[in-house]
Amino acid sequence: MIIFKKVRAKNFLSIGNQYLEYDLNKDHLTIIKGINSSGKTSVLDCITFALYKKAYRSINLPQLVNNINKKDCVAEIEFSIGETEWMVRRGLSPNIFEIHKNGKMLDQHSSAIEQQKWLEENVLKMSYKTFVQIVILGTSSFIPFMQLVPADRREVIEDLLDIKLFSSMNLLVKEKIKEMKDSVKILNLQKDSCEDKIQMQRNFIENLEQRSRNDIQEKSDTITQLFASVESIQTENGVINTQIQELQTKLEELTDVSDKLKVLMSDKTKLTIQAQNLKETFKFFKDNDTCPTCSQHIEAEFKKEKQKETKKEMSGLKKTYDNLLESIESETQRQNRFREVSSEVTDLNQKISYNNYHIQQRQNQIKELHKQIKKITDAINIKNDEHQKMDEYLKNLDEIKTGVAEIKDEIYNHEYVQLLLKDSGVKSRIIEKYLKIINSQITKYLNLLELYVNFTLDSEFNEQIMTPTFENFSYGNFSEGQKRRVDLALLFTWRYISSLKNSANTNLLICDEILDGSLDEMGHFAFLKIIKDEMKNSNVFVISHRDGIEHRFDKVISIEKKGNFTVKTEN
């Protein structure tokens, strides 16, 4: 419960540079008197300005500054809630907004708006709309409950029943659900992109592996071809070796040719010399009759014999020579054959060397290919970088999916809570419960104010009025005096409800000129009786310029203007 203790102001409307202060918690029933424009209603502006930074009357804030002094406009209000003493000081020209708790000024929020929100939500726990419904009953600027729009009626009731929390929670939950749905959207986008990445990576790895496998296959095929080639060269070498062996045998048979030819040539030389000698001997015995050495005559017979003998010898030699030539010819042919075979062997040996070189080359190639295949196989088997990347993507996708599932669970829970927090949820149950009390209180106060109608509010806070004579009546149908009675009945009801809930419960009630206008003597009387009987612990201020009613109050405060400024006297 808020106990308002003091309110004071200076340079505020018609109040001058001296603080004008009201004790709000001293007397049960106070009347504030004064002629028109003396400054009586200003106390309402002081209170609403100090608490809500709003003038009660419909003016702008700068218009609150006293237009003579034009500066240093300050309003202060003191109140306690439980054990805690609060003081709010607010000023214009210069701007001031201080909240004091138990004599100590609190740290200022970075923004005055935030600080005001904090004050209303955490300290006062009621909005301006509710405050003016339960603390102030006025003529000017006061909008009776029945003239509020449905949303404002609901706000007031929620404040009174302390269920505004559900609306705030509903807003928070709604925001949270939106945030979570946005997060799910973002996560789903991330999930899509992650899945794309995974697909691409999978294709990439498959390609890579396929290429590796193709590569291995190609290399294996090449190895097979190389082995086949080596084998065929080796086979060829085998054939060549056989040929060489055969040729070697032939060569061995021909190895003596050179010696033989040498001997034959030497024989030929000898035979040539012998033939020459025989030719000369023949010629000598043919041409000479005398021996040149001994000068003895050579007999013709002898000569003939000698010539015949020589010729025979020559003919024998010729035969030998011809045979020799034949042998030479035959050996020369053998020698040529030897050369040919040697050359063939050399060629074949060269061919084997050439083939061996190729075999070596192919074997080196095979070795190199085996090495490459091993490298590729290792790369496939070992979890390489690409697989690691893939693992990371999969892990990431898993995390995203878990995140989405968790948030969806949260959304589901929050939506359930939202259902409970909706106007039709828990709140409506609470309101239903209180509606009975509210309606019975309204009836009670209307009866006390001597308005005998059946007035009830439904769960949408629309009135249903039945009078003994009319069935479909609305607030607008009432006379001003009746309307005032309804306003008062509702005011008392709200105060009763707030005292039950201890939510918007306060000691203070200020009625501005409600006794002066439409309310007749009976109503006036009933009103004061209700205050006396039902609101013993409240501090009620009645602003009036009606004379002759002071005796009904515990205290009389007179307001008047002295010079240009409002002053106050108490008795």
Ligand X SMILES: Nc1ncnc2c1ncn2[C@@H]1O[C@H](COP(=O)(O)OP(=O)(O)OP(=O)(O)O)[C@@H](O)[C@H]1O
Q: Which does 66 bind (CB under 5 to 8 A by kind): Mg ion, ligand X, none?
A: ligand X
Of 14, 30, 41, 539, the one binding Mg ion (CB under 5 A) is: 41
- β-partners of residue 102 are none
Q: Which is nearer to ligand X, 264 or 542 (CB)?
A: 542
Query: How far is Cα 147 from Cα 170, in angstroms, rounded to an integer?
Result: 27
Provide, rounded to whole angstroms, the least separation between the CB of residue 145 and ligand X: 22
Minimum separation from the CB atom of position 23 to ligand X (A): 18
Query: Contact between 130 and ligand X (CB under 6 A)?
Result: no
Facing residues of 541 across strands?
A: 30, 510
Neighbours of 100 (CB within 10 A): 15
Residue 127 binds: one of ligand X, Mg ion, none (C-beta under 5 to 8 A by kind): none
Specify the DSSP class assigned to residue 12: B
Distance CA 53, CA 61 (A): 8
Instruction: List CB contacts of 505: < 8 A, sequence separation 6 or more.
Output: 1, 2, 495, 498, 499
Site stretch for ligand X (CB under 6 A), options 36-44, 197-205, 255-263, 427-435: 36-44
CB of 545 to ligand X, least distance (A): 6
Q: Which listed range, 29-37, 157-165, 198-206, 296-304, lies at the site for ligand X (CB under 6 A)?
A: 29-37
Burial 414-430 (b: 16+ CB within 10 A, else e): beebbeebbeeebbeeb
* Shortest reach from residue 132's CB to Mg ion, in Å: 15
Choose between 137 and 448: whose C-beta lies nearer to Mg ion.
137
d(CA 83, CA 3): 11
Residue 37 is a binding residue for ligand X (CB under 6 A): yes
Q: Side-chain half-sphere of 245: how many Cα atoms within 13 Å?
A: 6
**Gap between the Cα atoms of 348 and 243, Å rounded:** 8
36 vs 571 by CB, closer to ligand X: 36
- Distance from C-alpha of 21 to C-alpha of 77, rounded to nearest angstrom: 10
36 or 472: CB nearest ligand X: 36
Return the range that interacts with ligand X (CB under 6 A); candidates 32-40, 224-232, 308-316, 321-329. 32-40
Interface pattern 526-565 for ligand X (x via CB under 6 A): -------------------x--------------------
> Which among Mg ion, ligand X, none contacts residue 134 (Cβ within 5 to 8 A by kind)?
none
Pick from 34, 91, 138, 523: which binds ligand X (CB under 6 A)?
A: 34
Q: Is 41 in the site for ligand X (CB under 6 A)?
A: yes
Give DSSP secondary structure letters for 143-181.
--GGGS-HHHHHHHHHHHTT-HHHHHHHHHHHHHHHHHH
Nearer to Mg ion (CB atom), residue 41 or residue 201: 41
Out of 30, 38, 493, 506, point to the residue binding ligand X (CB under 6 A).
38
Count interface residues toward ligand X (CB under 6 A). 15
Tokens of 202: 């999978």
Residue 43 in tokens? 């106390």
The DSSP secondary-structure symbol of 122 reads I
Q: Which does 67 bind (CB under 5 to 8 A by kind): Mg ion, ligand X, none?
A: ligand X
Closer residue to ligand X (CB): 44 or 491: 44
| Number of residues counted as binding Mg ion (CB under 5 A) | 1
**Rounded distance, CA 539 to CA 495, Å?**
13
Q: Report, in Å, the least distance between residue 92 CB and ligand X.
A: 10
Can you tell me whether residue 14 is helix, strand or coil?
coil
Structure tokens at 228: 């086949």
Q: Is 527 helix (H, G, I), strand (E, B) or coil?
A: helix
Strand 555-562 with 565-570, pairing: antiparallel
Position 48 contacts Mg ion (CB under 5 A): no
Q: How far apart are CA 542 and CA 530, in angstroms?
A: 14
115 interface partner picked from Mg ion, ligand X, none, CB below 5 to 8 A per type: none
Q: Rounded to an integer, what distance in angstroms lies between the CA atom of residue 113 and that of residue 73?
A: 20
Q: Is 14 in the site for ligand X (CB under 6 A)?
A: yes
Scan residues 44-103 and list those touching ligand X (CB under 6 A).
63, 65-67
- C-beta of 366 vs 510, nearer to ligand X: 510
39 contributes a contact to ligand X by CB under 6 A: yes
Q: Please name which of 237, 247, 233 lies closest in space to residue 344, comparing C-alpha atoms.
A: 247
Reported residue count of the chain is 571
- 166 or 541: whose CB is closer to ligand X? 541
Residues that bind ligand X (CB under 6 A): 13-14, 34, 36-42, 63, 65-67, 545
Residues that bind Mg ion (CB under 5 A): 41
